[in-house]
């Protein structure tokens, strides 16, 4: 990256908000990924807009990152600027039955704060390992609940740095998709209208969902959560299991023996190993079951002759 870009970044961010050649393995739940040229840690909407504008002005690729929970970054890393909206961008405000939070707030922290205020409806999201921004972008869901069930509205930013207030229907939330994803916008904050309840009952519900996750999911290993989208009329994990792929391994990447819908990093797995395993699973399941699986995990960086489509 050019010295000119670095000097311009220093005009927008404090030194501690700029990281150079930052290993992205430290910023993804897969614990995989090479270095980014720059990683920025904005704290306000204006800094996000300024960073995006600068990248566009300089012709530098950029990517908006949350907790990195649904992402596979290539071993070579990312030649560009990562703009991370996570713990640095995570204020939560609760007034009455309305909850508003910045996009970097973790779903776990939100669920805890919401329970403390005696509000229910957010319990399903308590164990999803990501941030609010990613959850809205992908309409995240679990155990019968989805973001579209409870969201009221969101503030998003387009790639020209303009902010837009979108009501629930304008977000066009569907299965693992939204207008935010389709039009490459960035979620800055979102609001929810929830029902009142008893804190002890809400926490009991969260505890029960946690128990189910621990019982059924390989939480002891690094992963990106559920690896494949659910094919209509099927369950990805069962298709993989029925194709005799339980425990299938490429290097240190493995189809979980506990839940076949998860690809796990057994320790030291490379991005290429995970990518190869995913492609093997897609091919073998199609050959044996006649159903073509689609990855839920997004790619960032260069994977041989395939570029991660997530890069801007």
What is the 3-class SS of 159-217, one letter each residue? Answer: CCCCEEEEEHHHHCCECCECHHHHCCCEEEEEEEECEECCHHHHHHHHHHHHHHHHHHC
Q: Within a domain: residue 156?
A: yes
Same domain, 186 and 96: yes
* Boundary-marking domain end, from 87, 110, 139: 87
Q: Residue 297 corresponds to which tokens in the numbers above?
A: 């995990």
Q: Within a domain: residue 212?
A: no
Same domain, 83 and 31: yes
Candidates 58, 170, 199, 296; catalytic one: 296
Q: What is the DSSP string of 82-98?
A: EEE-SGGG--EEEETTE
The answer to whether residue 243 is catalytic is no
Answer whether residue 304 shows pLDDT above 80.
no
41-63 per-position pLDDT tens digit: 999 999 999 999 999 999 999 99
Same domain, 114 and 26: no
* Boundary-marking domain end, from 87, 117, 142: 87
Same domain, 160 and 144: yes
Same domain, 100 and 192: yes
CATH of the domain at 168: 3.30.465.10
67-76 per-position pLDDT tens digit: 998 899 999 9
* Boundary-marking domain end, from 57, 87, 117: 87
Candidates 176, 189, 223, 256; catalytic one: 176
Determine the Cα–Cα distance for residues 228 and 263; give it in Å rounded to an integer.
9
Q: Within a domain: residue 202?
A: no
9-24 per-position pLDDT tens digit: 999 999 999 999 999 9
Candidates 106, 226, 243, 256; catalytic one: 226
The answer to whether residue 199 is catalytic is no
- Please give the tally of structural domains in the chain: 3
Record the pTM: 0.88
Same domain, 163 and 231: no
Same domain, 163 and 70: no
CATH of the domain at 56: 3.30.43.10
Answer whether residue 311 shows pLDDT above 80.
no
Same domain, 19 and 43: yes
Q: Within a domain: residue 290?
A: yes
Same domain, 82 and 102: no
pLDDT category of residue 111 using cuts at 50, 70 and 90? very high
Q: Within a domain: residue 213?
A: no
Q: Residue 244 corresponds to which tokens in the numbers above?
A: 């005799």
Determine the Cα–Cα distance for residues 253 and 270; give it in Å rounded to an integer.
8
Q: Find all residues with CB under 8 Å of 292, minimum gap 6, and list them.
A: 231, 282, 285, 286
CATH of the domain at 269: 3.90.78.10
Q: Within a domain: residue 70?
A: yes
Q: What is residue 44's DSSP assignment? A: S
Instruction: Note down the domain range covering 300.
Output: 218-307
- 277 φ, ψ (degrees, to nearest 5): -60, -45
User: In this predicted structure, what is the pLDDT of residue 180?
Assistant: 95
The answer to whether residue 3 is catalytic is no
Q: Name the residue among 185, 190, 29 with its Cα closest to residue 103.
A: 190
Q: Within a domain: residue 271?
A: yes
Same domain, 80 and 96: no
Answer whether residue 275 shows pLDDT above 70.
yes
Same domain, 187 and 239: no
Same domain, 106 and 122: yes
């Amino acid at each position: 990256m050019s010295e000119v870009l670095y000097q311009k970044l220093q005009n927008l961010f404090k030194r501690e908000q700029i990281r150079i050649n930052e290993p992205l393995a430290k910023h993804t739940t897969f614990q995989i990924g090479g270095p980014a040229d720059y990683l920025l840690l904005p704290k306000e909407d204006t800094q996000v807009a300024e960073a995006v504008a600068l990248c566009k002005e300089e012709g530098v690729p950029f990517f908006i990152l949350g907790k990195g929970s649904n992402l596979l970054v290539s071993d070579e890393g990312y030649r560009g600027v990562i703009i991370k909206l996570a713990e640095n961008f995570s204020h939560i405000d609760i007034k009455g039955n309305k909850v508003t939070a910045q996009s970097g707030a973790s779903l776990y922290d939100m669920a805890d704060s919401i329970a403390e205020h005696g509000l229910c409806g957010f319990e399903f999201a308590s164990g999803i390992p990501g941030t609010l921004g990613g959850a809205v972008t992908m309409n995240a869901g679990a155990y019968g609940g989805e973001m579209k069930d409870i969201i009221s509205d969101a503030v998003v930013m387009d790639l020209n740095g303009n902010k837009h207030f979108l009501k629930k229907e304008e977000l066009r939330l569907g299965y693992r998709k939204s207008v935010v994803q389709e039009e490459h916008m960035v979620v800055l904050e979102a609001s929810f209208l929830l029902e009142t309840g008893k804190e002890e009952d809400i926490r009991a519900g969260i505890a029960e969902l946690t128990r189910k996750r621990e019982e059924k999911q390989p939480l002891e290993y690094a992963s990106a959560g559920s690896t494949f989208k659910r094919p209509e009329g099927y369950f990805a994990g069962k298709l993989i299991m029925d194709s005799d792929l339980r425990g299938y391994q490429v290097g240190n990447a493995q189809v979980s023996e506990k839940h076949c819908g998860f690809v796990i990093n057994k320790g030291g797995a490379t991005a290429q190993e995970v990518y190869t395993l995913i492609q093997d699973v897609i091919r073998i399941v199609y050959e044996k079951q006649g159903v073509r699986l689609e990855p839920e995990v997004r790619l960032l960086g260069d994977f041989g002759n395939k570029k991660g489509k997530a890069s801007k």
